[in-house]
Structure 1
Amino acid sequence: MYGISLASSFIIGAMVIIQIAAMNATVTDQLYRSGTERTAIEVAASLSQLLESDLRKMGLGLEDPRTSIVAADSTSLVFWADVDLDDTPEQVSYWLSSPDSAATTANPDDRLFYRTVDGEPLADPALGVVDVEFLFFDGTGAQTTDWGTVRSIRYTIAVEPPEPMDEFDPVSAVTSGSVFPKNLVL
Protein backbone atom coordinates (compact mmCIF):
# COMPACT_ATOMS: atom_id res chain seq x y z
CA MET A 1 0.00 0.00 0.00
CA TYR A 2 2.78 2.39 0.94
CA GLY A 3 4.66 1.47 -2.25
CA ILE A 4 1.71 2.54 -4.42
CA SER A 5 1.34 5.82 -2.52
CA LEU A 6 5.05 6.50 -2.83
CA ALA A 7 5.05 5.73 -6.56
CA SER A 8 1.98 7.93 -7.06
CA SER A 9 3.68 10.77 -5.22
CA PHE A 10 6.77 10.47 -7.43
CA ILE A 11 4.64 10.47 -10.59
CA ILE A 12 2.61 13.48 -9.48
CA GLY A 13 5.77 15.30 -8.38
CA ALA A 14 7.44 14.59 -11.72
CA MET A 15 4.38 15.90 -13.58
CA VAL A 16 4.43 19.11 -11.53
CA ILE A 17 8.16 19.61 -12.22
CA ILE A 18 7.60 19.04 -15.96
CA GLN A 19 4.74 21.59 -15.96
CA ILE A 20 6.89 24.16 -14.15
CA ALA A 21 9.75 23.61 -16.61
CA ALA A 22 7.37 23.99 -19.59
CA MET A 23 5.90 27.17 -18.11
CA ASN A 24 9.41 28.53 -17.51
CA ALA A 25 10.36 27.82 -21.15
CA THR A 26 7.22 29.59 -22.38
CA VAL A 27 7.85 32.65 -20.20
CA THR A 28 11.50 32.80 -21.30
CA ASP A 29 10.46 32.53 -24.96
CA GLN A 30 7.89 35.31 -24.58
CA LEU A 31 10.37 37.59 -22.81
CA TYR A 32 12.97 37.07 -25.54
CA ARG A 33 10.35 37.60 -28.27
CA SER A 34 9.12 40.78 -26.57
CA GLY A 35 12.67 42.15 -26.26
CA THR A 36 13.46 41.27 -29.88
CA GLU A 37 10.26 42.93 -31.07
CA ARG A 38 11.02 46.06 -29.04
CA THR A 39 14.51 46.23 -30.56
CA ALA A 40 13.09 45.93 -34.10
CA ILE A 41 10.60 48.71 -33.36
CA GLU A 42 13.35 50.96 -31.94
CA VAL A 43 15.59 50.41 -34.99
CA ALA A 44 12.70 51.17 -37.37
CA ALA A 45 11.75 54.31 -35.43
CA SER A 46 15.34 55.55 -35.29
CA LEU A 47 15.85 55.06 -39.04
CA SER A 48 12.54 56.76 -39.75
CA GLN A 49 13.47 59.83 -37.66
CA LEU A 50 16.87 60.18 -39.33
CA LEU A 51 15.44 59.74 -42.82
CA GLU A 52 12.63 62.23 -42.23
CA SER A 53 15.06 64.79 -40.82
CA ASP A 54 17.26 64.52 -43.92
CA LEU A 55 14.33 64.53 -46.35
CA ARG A 56 12.83 67.68 -44.79
CA LYS A 57 16.11 69.46 -45.63
CA MET A 58 16.14 68.25 -49.24
CA GLY A 59 16.89 71.15 -51.57
CA LEU A 60 17.91 73.47 -48.73
CA GLY A 61 20.76 75.72 -49.89
CA LEU A 62 20.29 75.02 -53.61
CA GLU A 63 19.59 77.81 -56.10
CA ASP A 64 17.29 75.50 -58.08
CA PRO A 65 15.53 72.98 -55.82
CA ARG A 66 14.43 71.01 -58.89
CA THR A 67 18.00 69.65 -59.00
CA SER A 68 17.74 68.25 -55.45
CA ILE A 69 17.41 64.60 -56.44
CA VAL A 70 20.53 63.24 -58.11
CA ALA A 71 19.40 59.63 -58.51
CA ALA A 72 16.69 57.42 -57.10
CA ASP A 73 14.86 54.16 -57.42
CA SER A 74 12.66 52.11 -55.11
CA THR A 75 15.51 51.14 -52.72
CA SER A 76 17.99 54.01 -53.03
CA LEU A 77 18.00 57.79 -52.98
CA VAL A 78 20.76 60.35 -53.58
CA PHE A 79 19.93 64.02 -53.04
CA TRP A 80 21.32 67.43 -52.08
CA ALA A 81 20.44 68.90 -48.68
CA ASP A 82 22.04 71.17 -46.12
CA VAL A 83 21.80 68.54 -43.38
CA ASP A 84 24.17 70.28 -40.97
CA LEU A 85 22.67 73.74 -41.63
CA ASP A 86 26.01 75.37 -42.50
CA ASP A 87 24.66 77.01 -45.70
CA THR A 88 26.47 74.42 -47.86
CA PRO A 89 24.44 71.59 -49.40
CA GLU A 90 25.79 68.07 -48.91
CA GLN A 91 25.09 65.02 -51.05
CA VAL A 92 23.12 62.54 -48.95
CA SER A 93 22.80 58.92 -50.04
CA TYR A 94 20.61 56.12 -48.73
CA TRP A 95 20.67 52.63 -50.20
CA LEU A 96 19.79 49.06 -49.35
CA SER A 97 22.47 46.43 -49.96
CA SER A 98 22.03 43.03 -51.53
CA PRO A 99 21.05 40.17 -49.17
CA ASP A 100 24.55 38.64 -49.28
CA SER A 101 26.03 41.78 -47.69
CA ALA A 102 24.60 40.68 -44.34
CA ALA A 103 25.59 37.02 -44.80
CA THR A 104 27.15 36.91 -41.33
CA THR A 105 23.74 37.16 -39.64
CA ALA A 106 21.37 34.23 -39.18
CA ASN A 107 18.48 36.06 -40.86
CA PRO A 108 18.56 35.23 -44.59
CA ASP A 109 16.33 38.21 -45.43
CA ASP A 110 18.13 41.07 -43.72
CA ARG A 111 20.35 43.54 -45.52
CA LEU A 112 22.48 46.55 -44.66
CA PHE A 113 20.90 50.00 -44.97
CA TYR A 114 23.53 52.65 -45.66
CA ARG A 115 23.55 56.42 -45.19
CA THR A 116 26.41 58.63 -46.33
CA VAL A 117 26.88 62.39 -46.38
CA ASP A 118 29.31 63.60 -49.05
CA GLY A 119 30.45 60.00 -49.46
CA GLU A 120 31.36 59.55 -45.80
CA PRO A 121 29.42 57.11 -43.63
CA LEU A 122 28.40 58.89 -40.44
CA ALA A 123 27.51 55.64 -38.64
CA ASP A 124 27.62 51.92 -39.17
CA PRO A 125 25.03 50.62 -41.61
CA ALA A 126 21.75 49.59 -40.03
CA LEU A 127 21.40 45.84 -39.52
CA GLY A 128 18.13 43.96 -39.74
CA VAL A 129 16.51 46.02 -42.49
CA VAL A 130 14.71 43.59 -44.79
CA ASP A 131 13.03 46.06 -47.11
CA VAL A 132 13.04 49.74 -48.02
CA GLU A 133 10.82 51.42 -50.55
CA PHE A 134 10.84 54.99 -51.81
CA LEU A 135 7.96 56.40 -53.88
CA PHE A 136 7.99 59.90 -55.39
CA PHE A 137 5.00 62.15 -56.05
CA ASP A 138 4.49 65.41 -57.92
CA GLY A 139 2.39 68.40 -56.85
CA THR A 140 -0.84 66.73 -57.98
CA GLY A 141 -0.16 63.60 -55.94
CA ALA A 142 0.65 61.45 -58.97
CA GLN A 143 3.61 59.10 -58.74
CA THR A 144 6.56 60.38 -60.79
CA THR A 145 10.11 59.56 -61.85
CA ASP A 146 10.72 63.09 -63.14
CA TRP A 147 12.93 64.25 -60.27
CA GLY A 148 12.41 67.94 -61.09
CA THR A 149 8.69 67.63 -60.31
CA VAL A 150 8.93 65.72 -57.01
CA ARG A 151 7.07 67.45 -54.18
CA SER A 152 6.70 64.57 -51.72
CA ILE A 153 8.38 61.28 -50.90
CA ARG A 154 6.77 58.26 -49.30
CA TYR A 155 9.01 55.70 -47.63
CA THR A 156 8.53 52.32 -45.99
CA ILE A 157 11.15 50.55 -43.86
CA ALA A 158 10.75 46.94 -42.65
CA VAL A 159 13.06 45.63 -39.93
CA GLU A 160 13.60 42.11 -38.57
CA PRO A 161 16.18 41.05 -36.00
CA PRO A 162 19.50 39.83 -37.45
CA GLU A 163 19.05 36.65 -35.38
CA PRO A 164 15.44 35.53 -36.00
CA MET A 165 13.64 33.47 -33.39
CA ASP A 166 11.25 31.63 -35.64
CA GLU A 167 11.46 31.42 -39.42
CA PHE A 168 7.73 30.70 -39.67
CA ASP A 169 6.62 33.59 -37.46
CA PRO A 170 9.27 36.32 -37.75
CA VAL A 171 9.25 39.32 -35.45
CA SER A 172 9.20 42.46 -37.56
CA ALA A 173 8.49 46.17 -37.39
CA VAL A 174 7.37 48.29 -40.32
CA THR A 175 7.36 52.06 -40.37
CA SER A 176 6.30 54.37 -43.15
CA GLY A 177 5.73 58.03 -43.71
CA SER A 178 5.39 60.81 -46.22
CA VAL A 179 7.63 63.86 -46.28
CA PHE A 180 6.85 67.11 -48.08
CA PRO A 181 10.20 68.96 -48.21
CA LYS A 182 9.29 72.66 -48.06
CA ASN A 183 12.28 73.54 -50.24
CA LEU A 184 10.85 71.59 -53.19
CA VAL A 185 7.77 73.79 -53.45
CA LEU A 186 8.33 76.31 -56.23
Structure 2
Amino acid sequence: MGSQTILDLIASTIVFGTLMLIALRLNGSTMENMSAFREDLIVQQNLVAVSELLEHDFRKIAYCKDYEVISSPTLAIRYADTSKIIFWTDLPTVANPYGDGVLDSLTYYIGPTSELTSTPNPNDRLIYRVENNATPIGVYMGVSTFNLQYYDALRNKLSTPVDSCQLIQYMQITIQVEHPVKWTKYYNTATYDTVYQSAFWRQVRLVAKNLNNR
Protein backbone atom coordinates (compact mmCIF):
# COMPACT_ATOMS: atom_id res chain seq x y z
CA MET A 1 0.00 0.00 0.00
CA GLY A 2 1.50 3.31 -1.07
CA SER A 3 2.00 6.31 1.16
CA GLN A 4 -0.59 8.26 -0.84
CA THR A 5 -3.20 5.59 -0.18
CA ILE A 6 -2.43 5.69 3.55
CA LEU A 7 -2.75 9.46 3.56
CA ASP A 8 -6.06 9.18 1.72
CA LEU A 9 -7.33 6.69 4.29
CA ILE A 10 -6.26 8.94 7.17
CA ALA A 11 -7.90 11.95 5.53
CA SER A 12 -11.08 9.96 4.90
CA THR A 13 -11.14 8.79 8.52
CA ILE A 14 -10.72 12.35 9.79
CA VAL A 15 -13.47 13.64 7.51
CA PHE A 16 -15.78 10.78 8.49
CA GLY A 17 -15.07 11.34 12.19
CA THR A 18 -15.72 15.06 11.85
CA LEU A 19 -19.01 14.43 10.08
CA MET A 20 -20.01 11.92 12.75
CA LEU A 21 -19.27 14.45 15.51
CA ILE A 22 -21.32 17.10 13.71
CA ALA A 23 -24.19 14.64 13.26
CA LEU A 24 -24.07 13.61 16.92
CA ARG A 25 -24.05 17.23 18.07
CA LEU A 26 -26.95 18.09 15.81
CA ASN A 27 -28.86 15.07 17.05
CA GLY A 28 -28.13 15.96 20.67
CA SER A 29 -29.21 19.56 20.10
CA THR A 30 -32.39 18.40 18.38
CA MET A 31 -33.23 16.03 21.22
CA GLU A 32 -32.59 18.76 23.79
CA ASN A 33 -34.79 21.23 21.92
CA MET A 34 -37.56 18.64 21.60
CA SER A 35 -37.39 17.87 25.32
CA ALA A 36 -37.44 21.57 26.19
CA PHE A 37 -40.40 22.14 23.87
CA ARG A 38 -42.28 19.21 25.40
CA GLU A 39 -41.71 20.43 28.95
CA ASP A 40 -42.59 24.01 27.99
CA LEU A 41 -45.81 22.72 26.45
CA ILE A 42 -46.71 21.05 29.75
CA VAL A 43 -46.24 24.35 31.58
CA GLN A 44 -48.38 26.20 29.03
CA GLN A 45 -51.13 23.56 29.18
CA ASN A 46 -51.23 23.71 32.98
CA LEU A 47 -51.52 27.50 32.88
CA VAL A 48 -54.36 27.37 30.34
CA ALA A 49 -56.24 24.77 32.40
CA VAL A 50 -55.99 26.80 35.61
CA SER A 51 -56.78 30.18 34.03
CA GLU A 52 -59.81 28.88 32.11
CA LEU A 53 -61.28 27.28 35.23
CA LEU A 54 -60.73 30.41 37.31
CA GLU A 55 -62.25 32.68 34.68
CA HIS A 56 -65.28 30.41 34.33
CA ASP A 57 -65.92 30.17 38.07
CA PHE A 58 -65.21 33.83 38.88
CA ARG A 59 -67.56 35.08 36.17
CA LYS A 60 -70.29 33.07 37.91
CA ILE A 61 -69.90 34.81 41.25
CA ALA A 62 -73.42 35.69 42.49
CA TYR A 63 -74.99 33.53 39.78
CA CYS A 64 -77.94 31.29 40.57
CA LYS A 65 -80.37 29.59 38.24
CA ASP A 66 -83.14 30.80 40.53
CA TYR A 67 -82.26 34.50 40.61
CA GLU A 68 -84.57 35.14 43.56
CA VAL A 69 -82.33 33.03 45.81
CA ILE A 70 -79.63 35.71 45.73
CA SER A 71 -81.71 38.70 46.75
CA SER A 72 -78.61 40.83 47.31
CA PRO A 73 -75.68 40.12 44.97
CA THR A 74 -73.52 42.42 47.12
CA LEU A 75 -73.34 39.59 49.66
CA ALA A 76 -72.11 37.01 47.13
CA ILE A 77 -68.42 37.41 48.00
CA ARG A 78 -68.01 36.17 51.54
CA TYR A 79 -64.25 36.53 51.95
CA ALA A 80 -61.62 38.22 49.78
CA ASP A 81 -57.85 38.24 50.28
CA THR A 82 -54.81 38.18 48.00
CA SER A 83 -54.53 34.39 48.01
CA LYS A 84 -58.00 33.25 49.04
CA ILE A 85 -61.59 33.97 48.03
CA ILE A 86 -64.94 32.50 49.12
CA PHE A 87 -68.14 33.25 47.25
CA TRP A 88 -71.67 32.08 46.50
CA THR A 89 -72.57 30.60 43.13
CA ASP A 90 -74.73 27.88 41.60
CA LEU A 91 -72.58 24.94 40.54
CA PRO A 92 -73.65 22.76 37.60
CA THR A 93 -74.68 19.15 38.13
CA VAL A 94 -75.07 16.23 35.76
CA ALA A 95 -78.84 16.69 35.76
CA ASN A 96 -78.68 20.49 35.77
CA PRO A 97 -75.77 21.84 33.70
CA TYR A 98 -76.87 25.43 34.46
CA GLY A 99 -77.20 24.82 38.19
CA ASP A 100 -80.01 23.49 40.34
CA GLY A 101 -81.15 26.78 41.84
CA VAL A 102 -79.47 26.02 45.18
CA LEU A 103 -76.61 28.21 46.36
CA ASP A 104 -73.17 26.63 46.61
CA SER A 105 -70.13 27.96 48.39
CA LEU A 106 -66.92 27.91 46.34
CA THR A 107 -63.49 28.52 47.84
CA TYR A 108 -60.19 29.09 46.06
CA TYR A 109 -56.85 29.37 47.81
CA ILE A 110 -53.21 28.42 47.41
CA GLY A 111 -51.30 26.27 49.87
CA PRO A 112 -47.85 26.86 51.38
CA THR A 113 -44.64 25.82 49.62
CA SER A 114 -43.96 23.39 52.48
CA GLU A 115 -46.67 21.08 51.11
CA LEU A 116 -44.58 20.25 48.03
CA THR A 117 -41.24 19.07 49.34
CA SER A 118 -41.31 16.22 46.81
CA THR A 119 -40.47 18.53 43.88
CA PRO A 120 -37.08 20.21 43.30
CA ASN A 121 -38.80 23.56 42.70
CA PRO A 122 -39.10 25.47 46.01
CA ASN A 123 -41.72 27.85 44.56
CA ASP A 124 -44.53 25.56 43.41
CA ARG A 125 -47.66 25.06 45.49
CA LEU A 126 -50.94 23.20 45.52
CA ILE A 127 -54.04 25.12 44.46
CA TYR A 128 -57.33 24.34 46.16
CA ARG A 129 -60.88 24.53 44.81
CA VAL A 130 -63.34 23.53 47.52
CA GLU A 131 -67.05 23.08 46.87
CA ASN A 132 -69.30 23.68 49.88
CA ASN A 133 -68.03 21.67 52.88
CA ALA A 134 -66.00 19.13 50.91
CA THR A 135 -62.62 18.05 52.24
CA PRO A 136 -59.96 20.34 50.71
CA ILE A 137 -57.83 18.45 48.19
CA GLY A 138 -54.94 20.31 46.61
CA VAL A 139 -54.25 19.93 42.90
CA TYR A 140 -50.71 20.10 41.53
CA MET A 141 -50.51 22.27 38.41
CA GLY A 142 -47.11 23.85 39.03
CA VAL A 143 -48.67 27.08 40.32
CA SER A 144 -46.06 29.31 41.98
CA THR A 145 -48.07 32.56 42.08
CA PHE A 146 -51.78 33.02 42.72
CA ASN A 147 -52.64 36.62 43.51
CA LEU A 148 -55.99 38.41 43.67
CA GLN A 149 -56.61 42.15 43.79
CA TYR A 150 -60.00 43.82 44.18
CA TYR A 151 -61.46 47.13 42.97
CA ASP A 152 -64.62 49.10 43.66
CA ALA A 153 -67.03 50.65 41.14
CA LEU A 154 -64.70 53.64 40.66
CA ARG A 155 -61.79 51.25 40.03
CA ASN A 156 -60.10 52.13 43.28
CA LYS A 157 -57.98 49.31 44.65
CA LEU A 158 -59.34 47.86 47.89
CA SER A 159 -57.01 46.92 50.74
CA THR A 160 -56.84 43.23 51.62
CA PRO A 161 -58.31 41.35 53.28
CA VAL A 162 -61.34 43.30 52.10
CA ASP A 163 -63.46 44.45 55.05
CA SER A 164 -66.55 45.33 52.99
CA CYS A 165 -66.82 42.72 50.24
CA GLN A 166 -69.98 44.37 48.93
CA LEU A 167 -67.73 47.10 47.47
CA ILE A 168 -66.01 44.68 45.08
CA GLN A 169 -66.88 45.26 41.43
CA TYR A 170 -63.74 44.14 39.62
CA MET A 171 -60.95 41.67 40.23
CA GLN A 172 -57.45 41.19 38.92
CA ILE A 173 -56.10 37.64 38.78
CA THR A 174 -52.40 36.88 38.45
CA ILE A 175 -51.09 33.34 37.97
CA GLN A 176 -47.64 31.96 37.28
CA VAL A 177 -46.93 28.31 36.59
CA GLU A 178 -43.44 26.80 36.78
CA HIS A 179 -41.88 23.49 35.80
CA PRO A 180 -40.77 21.40 38.79
CA VAL A 181 -37.23 20.93 37.39
CA LYS A 182 -34.65 23.44 36.17
CA TRP A 183 -33.40 23.25 32.59
CA THR A 184 -29.93 24.42 31.60
CA LYS A 185 -31.44 25.87 28.43
CA TYR A 186 -33.24 28.54 30.48
CA TYR A 187 -31.26 31.04 32.52
CA ASN A 188 -31.42 34.51 33.99
CA THR A 189 -29.60 36.85 31.58
CA ALA A 190 -28.51 39.06 34.48
CA THR A 191 -27.10 36.38 36.80
CA TYR A 192 -26.72 33.48 34.33
CA ASP A 193 -28.32 31.18 36.89
CA THR A 194 -30.54 28.46 35.48
CA VAL A 195 -34.24 29.05 36.10
CA TYR A 196 -37.46 27.09 35.98
CA GLN A 197 -39.53 27.20 32.83
CA SER A 198 -42.52 29.38 33.58
CA ALA A 199 -45.67 30.86 32.05
CA PHE A 200 -47.47 33.98 33.29
CA TRP A 201 -51.11 35.04 32.95
CA ARG A 202 -53.01 38.06 34.24
CA GLN A 203 -56.67 38.89 33.87
CA VAL A 204 -57.10 42.62 34.41
CA ARG A 205 -60.41 43.93 35.72
CA LEU A 206 -62.41 40.73 35.50
CA VAL A 207 -66.10 41.49 35.91
CA ALA A 208 -68.66 39.11 37.37
CA LYS A 209 -71.77 40.50 35.67
CA ASN A 210 -74.09 39.31 38.43
CA LEU A 211 -72.35 41.61 40.91
CA ASN A 212 -73.80 44.52 38.95
CA ASN A 213 -77.37 43.44 39.70
CA ARG A 214 -77.50 45.53 42.83
Spell out, residue by residue over 1:125-163, the C-alpha distance to the aligned partner (whole angstroms, 9 max, x if none): 132111111111111111113311001111011111223
The residue type equivalent to 1:171 in the other structure is Q
Equivalence for 1:108:
122
By how many angstroms is 1:101 displaced?
Answer: 1.2
> What is the rounded CA distance, in whole Å, between the counterparts of 1:45 and 1:75 in structure 2?
19
How many residue pairs get matched? Answer: 186
User: What is the deviation of 1:70?
Assistant: 2.1
Runs of 4+ in 1 over 3 A off after TM superposition: 121-124
* CA drift at 1:124: 5.7
Q: Who is 1:59 aligned against?
A: 62
Structure 1 residues 67 and 19 mapped into 2: Cα distance closer, same or farther (>3 Å)? same
Aligned-pair CA distance for 1:108: 2.2
Partner amino acid, structure 1, of 2:48:
A
Other structure's SS at 1:136 match: strand
Q: What secondary structure is seen at the aligned counterpart in 2 of 1:155?
A: strand
Counterpart for residue 86 of structure 2: 78
Change (3 A) 1:164 1:114: farther
More helix by share: 1
The 2-side partners of 1:89 and 1:83 are apart by 8
Deviation for aligned residue 1:80: 1.4
RMSD over aligned Cα, in angstroms? 2.0
Q: CA deviation at 1:121?
A: 6.2
Q: How much has 1:182 moved relative to structure 2?
A: 1.4
Which one of the candidate residues 150, 174, 190 is aligned to 1:156?
Answer: 174
Are 1:50 and 2:68 counterparts?
no
Residue 171 in 1 paired to residue 197 in 2? yes
| TM value normalised by structure 2 | 0.79
Which letter does structure 2 place at the counterpart of 1:98?
P
1:40 alignment partner in structure 2: 43
Give the gaps of 5 or more residues in structure 1.
none
Higher strand share: 2
The 3-state SS of whatever aligns with 1:156 is strand
Give TM-score scaled by structure 1 length: 0.90
- Kindly indicate whether the alpha-carbon contact (under 8 Å) linking 1:106 and 1:163 is maintained by their aligned counterparts in 2: yes
**Structure 2 residues not aligned, in runs of 5+:** 65-69, 93-98, 188-193
Counterpart in the other structure of 1:139: 153
Q: Is the 1:114–1:126 Cα contact (8 Å) retained in structure 2?
A: no
> What one-letter code is carried by the residue in structure 2 that aligns with 1:39?
I
Q: How far, CA to CA, are the matches of 2:32 and 2:135 in structure 1?
A: 36
State the Cα distance separating 1:64 from its structure 2 match.
2.0
Distance 1:43 1:123, change over 3 A: farther
What is the aligned-residue identity percentage?
Answer: 22
- Name the larger-Rg structure: 2
